[in-house]
């Protein structure tokens, strides 16, 4: 019977991936289901997990088109590393670079529980390796290198309930700009308040000069914040939904603060 293929984000449950102990009708019908599903979806191989069973069973299509049934398969003596670009039905439409072995030897049992072995190389070996990944409750995500995994996770739809979210920085570097801008604005405020206790025009005019410098600095910082923010936003595209909005919002707030302080300063400090 054709079964529905488990797809991401259905998690590879811990219950999946246990050896078959009893070779009975249930097992045989599971194998038939795997074959039917394979044919229907024109796939090269399926692990039982992919149709929701927790047994270590894999069916792969051999080069001559016939099916190879692998019960409790194990890969031993892996040789020769190769890098392949692979797709799997679990992540439809997505591909990733994975390091695999060129030649493998697989130990498995047939329907009569007899222990057999098969040597495989090239594409066939890669296919078996990909299917074997599922038999112990993993998908090929766990096979990716750290960098490749990051890349792949970006490809995945954002916001699923499975705990594989990309590592977003908790602090963006652009925040240093807005922090500096805030400190400068506070300095302007301090200058403004202290000017209330000064009556000497000469000192006041000096203070006004500094206030202008600070004003210009805050302007420059905010311009820097805007452009760096845009650049950083592109780097972590998947991290927040609307980064440009955030950046502009932050700048508007900073500008309002700046203008208020500057306007008051103009009337208080600016010597007439």
Partner 1 sequence: MEFENEEKYMARLIVLGGGVSGHTAATFAAKWLGSSHEVVVVTPNSKWNWIPSNIWVGVGQMTKEEVTFDLAPVYKKAGITYKQAKALGIHPEGNESSDKPYVVIESTEAGSAGKVENIEYDYLINATGPKLNFGATPGLGEGSNLGEYTVSVCTADHADHAAHELQKCIEKMKKGERQKFLIGTGHGMCTCQGAAFEYIFNIEHELNKAGVRDMADIKWISNESFLGDFGVGGLHMKTMGYAVSSKIFAESLFTERGVEWIIGAHVNKVEKGKAHYELLDGTMGVEEFDFSMLIPPFAGVGLKAINKAGEDITATVFAPNGFMKVDANYAAGAYENWKASDWPSTYQNPTYGNMFACGIAFAPPHPISKPMSSPNGTPINPTPPRTGMPSGIMGKTVAHSVCDRILKGENAPLHEASMANMGAACVASAGKGLFNGTAAAMTIYPVVPDFEKYPGTGRDTDYTFGEIGLAGHWIKHILHHLFIWKAKLKAGWTLIPE
Q: Which positions ≥6 away from 23 have C-beta within 8 Å?
A: 71, 109, 111, 112, 113
In the complex, least distance from residue 183 CB atom to partner 1, rounded to whole angstroms: 35
CB 159 → partner 1: shortest distance, Å? 16
- Name the residue nearer to partner 1 (CB basis): 140 or 215: 140
Shortest spacing between CB 48 and partner 1, in angstroms: 12
> Which residue ranges make up the site for partner 1 (CB under 8 A)?
11-19, 21-23, 54, 72, 74-78, 99, 105, 107, 115, 117, 119, 133, 136-138, 142-143, 162-164
Indicate the residue among 108 and 215 with the shorter CB distance to partner 1. Answer: 108
Name the residue nearer to partner 1 (CB basis): 40 or 99. Answer: 99
For partner 1, the closer of residues 18 and 246 by Cβ is 18
Q: How far is the CB of 79 from partner 1 (least distance, A)?
A: 9
DSSP, residue by residue, 194-258: HHTT---HHHHHHHHHHHHHHHHHHHHHHHHHHHHHHHHHHHTTTT-S-HHHHHHHHHHHHHHHH
* Closest distance of CB 18 from partner 1, Å: 5
Smallest distance from partner 1 to CB 11, Å: 7
- Which is nearer to partner 1, 28 or 210 (by Cβ)? 28
Strand pairing class (57-61; 45-47):
antiparallel
Q: How far apart are CA 268 and CA 272, in angstroms?
A: 10
The nearer residue to partner 1, 12 or 45, going by C-beta atoms, is 12
Number of neighbours of residue 216 by Cβ within 10 angstroms: 11
Q: In the complex, what is the shortest distance from the CB of residue 219 to partner 1, in angstroms, rounded to a whole number?
A: 45
d(CA 6, CA 39): 16
C-beta of 80 vs 92, nearer to partner 1: 80
The nearest distance, CB 65 to partner 1, in angstroms, is 25
**CB of 35 or CB of 74, closer to partner 1:** 74
Report phi then psi at 46, rounded to 5. -145, 140
Q: Which two tokens stand for residue 9?
A: 């984000």
| Residues 11, 17, 21: CA angle, nearest 5 degrees | 150
Strand, coil or helix: 53: coil
Q: Pick the closest to residue 247 from 263, 236, 260, 262 (CA basis).
A: 236
Q: Name the nearest CA neighbour of 84 among 25, 132, 145, 34.
A: 145
The DSSP string of 17-30 is -B-----SHHHHHH
């Amino acid at each position: 019977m054709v079964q529905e293929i488990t797809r991401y984000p259905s998690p590879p449950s811990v219950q999946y991936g246990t050896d078959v102990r009893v070779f009975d009708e249930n097992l045989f019908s599971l194998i038939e289901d795997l074959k039917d599903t394979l044919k229907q979806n024109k796939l090269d191989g399926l692990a039982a997990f992919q149709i929701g069973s927790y047994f270590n069973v894999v069916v792969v299509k051999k080069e001559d088109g016939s099916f190879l049934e692998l019960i409790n398969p194990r890969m031993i003596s892996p040789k020769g590393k190769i890098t392949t670009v692979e797709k799997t039905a679990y992540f439809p439409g997505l591909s990733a670079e994975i390091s695999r072995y060129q030649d493998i030897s697989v130990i498995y049992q047939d329907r009569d529980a007899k222990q057999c072995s098969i040597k495989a190389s090239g594409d066939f070996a890669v296919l078996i390796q990909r299917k074997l990944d599922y038999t112990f409750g993993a998908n090929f995500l766990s096979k990716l290198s750290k960098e490749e995994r990051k890349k792949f996770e970006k490809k995945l739809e954002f916001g699923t309930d499975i705990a594989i979210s990309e590592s977003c920085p908790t602090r963006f570097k652009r925040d240093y700009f807005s922090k500096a801008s805030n400190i400068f604005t506070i300095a302007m405020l301090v200058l403004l308040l202290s000017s209330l206790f000064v009556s000497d025009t000469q000192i006041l005019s000096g203070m006004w000069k500094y206030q202008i410098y600070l004003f210009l600095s805050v302007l420059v910082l905010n311009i820097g914040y805007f452009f760096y923010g845009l650049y950083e936003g592109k780097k972590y595209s998947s991290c927040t939904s609307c980064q440009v909005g955030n950046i502009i919002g932050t700048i508007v707030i900073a500008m309002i603060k700046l203008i208020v302080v500057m306007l008051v300063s103009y009337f208080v400090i600016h010597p007439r």
